[in-house]
A and B are shown apart, each in its own frame.
Chain A
Amino acid sequence: KAGVTQTPRYLIKTRGQQVTLSCSPISGHRSVSWYQQTPGQGLQFLFEYFSETQRNKGNFPGRFSGRQFSNSRSEMNVSTLELGDSALYLCASSLAGQSNQPQHFGDGTRLSIL
């Protein structure tokens, strides 16, 4: 069974641009969550989608948004990029997003802002 696939793996942008990251969950998984990982702040929850609906949201500005499609694939978008948005963005999927189910992570997209 294929794991969680994130594309692209690496991305370089400049301040003020916008970016879209993609995540394909494990087949059959309906919940997709996104996390930001930085050396200073560690792993922080961005949001969770289940059945095309945002079910949970972390404490990030409105520049960070996401969506989920009917096939459970998800995208996250960051607009008006800032230097501090440089990070590893990780996507995770689980069967139904229940709290006792483990999250399965992709290898991430490393976003660098110049």
Chain B
Amino acid sequence: AQSVTQLGSHVSVSEGALVLLRCNYSSSVPPYLFWYVQYPNQGLQLLLKYTTGATLVKGINGFEAEFKKSETSFHLTKPSAHMSDAAEYFCAVSVSNQGGKLIFGQGTELSVKP
């Protein structure tokens, strides 16, 4: 069975500092991996995805993530945090034999201090 673990339910950084949100997955078959962001009272917005090919994936708003199969990780990073990055971030996995079903991690709330 597939699962996703996000390390740290809350992460706080200063404006301009590096953002690192951790995600580890478990899957018996090659996974497809996604990062979504959720702002208050809104749905989820796709930040980036990994399906095949290049393991370093660039997304919107300056975020990127690297797929590391040996570490079963897909950590999200951004070199310089902005106040507008404060939100909840979800890592998700889907697998090829389960259609559009996504399995989500528990989420990481990112706070950005001025």
Contacts and interface: CB of A to CB of B under 8 A. Distances in A.
B99 A50 contact: yes
A104 interface: yes
A103 B98 contact: no
A101 B100 contact: yes
Interface of A: 4, 6, 31, 33, 35, 42-45, 48, 50, 55-56, 58, 90, 92, 94, 97-108
Contacts of A106: 43
Given A56-B101, A98-B100, 9 more contacts: A4-B43, A42-B107, A43-B107, A50-B99, A99-B94, A101-B100, A102-B34, A102-B46, A104-B46
A44 B92 CA distance: 11
Given A42-B107, A43-B90, A98 B99 contact: yes
18 contacts: A4-B43, A35-B104, A43-B92, A44-B104, A45-B101, A50-B100, A56-B98, A56-B99, A92-B100, A99-B94, A99-B95, A99-B96, A100-B94, A102-B34, A103-B34, A105-B44, A107-B43, A108-B43
